[in-house]
Structure 1
Amino acid sequence: MQQDAMQTTAAAPEIQRVRHELKLRDLEVVRVEPLSPGFVAITFGGEALADFVSMSFDDHVKFFFDDGNGDGDRAPARRDYTPRRFSREARELVVEFALHGEGAASDWARRARIGQRMQVGGPRGSFIIPKEAAWHLLVGDATALPAISRRLEELPAGSRAFVLVLADDADRRAFAGAAAADIRWFDRPEALLAALERLALPTGHGFAWGGGEASVMARVRKLLADKGIPRQATRVSAYWKEGVAEHHENLE
């Protein structure tokens, strides 16, 4: 057990779970902005966003992708995505789509055009992790980049963040935000996991978050436990699973 990652006796910041009214919204594409060879930011707009709520970088909304055959025999493909930015005043929601490989979501995002309609559900709830934690550990692969980017932008000045990301060179990005962030990039899962195992975290009540491929995140979850980080101070999600078309699972 790693002593420097242990929590002190001071009271831990309280984690809040908030439920939202589940709504399905009909939105329109208003902007399409390529970010890198592997990502595109798509802005959706509409009055249906007047009561949209996203209280955490860990939120996810569900998109419904028609297969385009028009026969109505197949149920739409469903995928979960992080609300990257939201403006109630402008009635605009920004979501970043990964363009890797082929699939209903990535294929749609490559062809997205202004004026297209999309049905979006949620968020169903928010898992609000206190920003005043002594330190923040963020671990993920390329699919977690939108959530990590949002979290770093939201953390106040004086925050300490440790960021370990598995991503190809083309997907790596500069993060904005006022937090003092130690950013480390990796091109192999084993290298990321070895670095996480060696990572010395500060004392005090922190929070560890992870998002990415299911088998890698299961190992991340175990390493966090081995470090002595309390289960209530971690949240790890499987955003996708190798060989499975539709997968999202909380491993907390």
Structure 2
Amino acid sequence: MANRPVRELKVIHTTRLTEHMLRITLGGNEMADYPSDQESAYVKLMFPQAGDQPPQKRSYTIRQQRPMEIDLDFVLHNPLGPASSWAKQAQPGDRILVGDPGPKKLINPDADWFLLVGDMAALPAISVNLEQLPDDARGHAVIEIPSKADIQTLKAPGNLNLHWEVNPQPAPEGGFLISKVKALPWLEGQPSVWSACEFNSMRNLRRFFKEEKQLPDSHLYLSSYWKIGQSDEGHKQAKRLDSVQSETTR
């Protein structure tokens, strides 16, 4: 992050997509030399705090990009965190510091079928992945949402089934998504899997994909975007510890 330029962008407009998702369109003069083709890449937003405290940084996926504009989709959590609070109150003309995009994390397209799994936090990235799959791609996308009112119309290949799974109150053990994935038919051939979700859900999915299905790393992307009951820093610490434990058990 230290080596990526930071730009002050302004809010162009806001769009309420569903009950719990709000789109913020950012732009401004500093977009003139912005890198192109960055949909699905992540950016760091810097939310100011009171007093002399450093800004709080949060990562968001570029959902859509146009000349001089990018769209970022915010989940409106309850209670609202610093990012969702800022998004809910954002008005055209408001300004925020944004780090330039990090690496894209796209599903491996070299596969016989595809499986995408995630919750609302991962929905922007899942949406971009679906749009970039070939038209004849087949498989499944399992998306955990808090309400039926959060179902979106997504562009996806005709043979890739979208499963909108409603879970109003995620449990700490993270058993919801894995139960839905295990209920799916496992298709023939080499699958490519992309999954991002809550920390405990990610660990359950990782055990299933790596231990039970023995998927190679080349065809498996897993990430956690948050951890239930933890602050952003608490989630980062859990991820660091999990990474160490994973390395020592290999």
Q: TM-score normalised by the shorter chain: which range applies?
A: 0.7 to 0.9
Aligned to 1:236: 222
Conserved in 1, the CA contact under 8 Å of 2:38 and 2:62?
no
Quickly say closer, same or farther: Cα 1:134–1:56, change in 2 above 3 A.
Answer: farther
In structure 2, how many angstroms separate the alpha carbons of the residues matched to 1:240 and 1:54? 26
Quickly say closer, same or farther: Cα 1:159–1:125, change in 2 above 3 A.
Answer: same
Aligned length: 227
Higher relative contact order (CA 8 A, sep 6+): 1
Aligned to 2:57: 78
Deviation at 1:75, TM superposition (A): 1.1
Aligned to 1:178: 157
2:182 to 197, 216, 223: 197
Specify the code of the residue in structure 1 equivalent to 2:198. Answer: E
1:44 maps to 2:22: no
TM normalised by structure 2 equals 0.82
TM normalised by structure 1 equals 0.81
1:1-252 → structure 2 map (5 Å cutoff):
22-49=4-31, 50-53=33-36, 55=38, 57=40, 59-67=41-49, 69=50, 71=51, 73-87=52-66, 90-101=67-78, 102-168=80-146, 169-188=148-167, 190-225=175-210, 226-246=212-232, 247=235, 249=239
Quickly say closer, same or farther: Cα 1:28–1:171, change in 2 above 3 A.
Answer: same
Unaligned runs of 5+ in 2: 168-173
In structure 1, how many angstroms separate the alpha carbons of the residues matched to 2:28 and 2:196? 29
Conserved in 1, the CA contact under 8 Å of 2:107 and 2:194?
no
SS in 1 for 2:72: strand
Task: Determine which structure has the larger helix proportion and give its number.
Answer: 2
**What's the CA shift string for 1:75-103, capped at 9, x where partnerless?**
1111111100112xx21100001111221
In structure 1, how many angstroms separate the alpha carbons of the residues matched to 2:77 and 2:197? 14
In structure 1, how many angstroms separate the alpha carbons of the residues matched to 2:155 and 2:43? 23
**What's the CA shift string for 1:26-54, capped at 9, x where partnerless?**
11111111111211111101233323245
In structure 2, how many angstroms separate the alpha carbons of the residues matched to 1:183 and 1:129? 16
**What's the CA shift string for 1:55-89, capped at 9, x where partnerless?**
563x211100112x3x3x111111111100112xx
Unaligned runs of 5+ in 1: 1-18
Quickly say closer, same or farther: Cα 1:167–1:153, change in 2 above 3 A.
Answer: same
Specify the code of the residue in structure 2 equivalent to 1:25. Answer: R
Root-mean-square deviation (CA, aligned residues, Å) is 2.3
Quickly say closer, same or farther: Cα 1:242–1:128, change in 2 above 3 A.
Answer: closer
